[in-house]
Homo-oligomer: A and B are copies of this chain.
């Protein structure tokens, strides 16, 4: 079995696929916005990556959400709740951590199933 890489760059690949599973970390693209809009943006990036490999948000197994400011938890949840498919949600763990871009309010790491 071999590893499939999505958009391999020098420093990292956007996503990797192996043994029926895709690994990906999404970041927001709209950095001047609030946590609600940044979360929407990040979830949209996740949708786009999954669509490229014929998967979708109902196939996500595990999610780790990093937010910089705990006060942004409700705004993040609002964007999440509007996006997630009820009854087909993944495991989710949210923690407060600093992020590497001073404008990031959220970063979302996922593991999802893909057809082989």
Residues of A within 8 A of B (CB): 1, 3, 5, 8-16, 18-21, 23-25, 59, 61-64, 66, 70, 73, 77, 80-81, 84, 86-100, 107, 109, 111, 113
Contacts and interface: CB of A to CB of B under 8 A. Distances in A.
16 contacts: A3-B61, A8-B88, A10-B81, A10-B89, A11-B77, A11-B89, A12-B84, A13-B91, A15-B91, A16-B90, A23-B61, A23-B91, A25-B92, A62-B111, A66-B95, A96-B98
Contacts of A84: 10-12
B1 A113 contact: yes
Q: How many identical chains are in the complex?
A: 3
A52 B98 CA distance: 34
B111 A23 contact: yes
Nearest to A97: B95
Contacts of A99: 95-96
B19 A18 contact: no
A94 B99 CA distance: 7
Which among A11, A16, A66, A70 has the greatest number of chain B C-beta atoms within 10 A? A16
Contacts of A14: 91
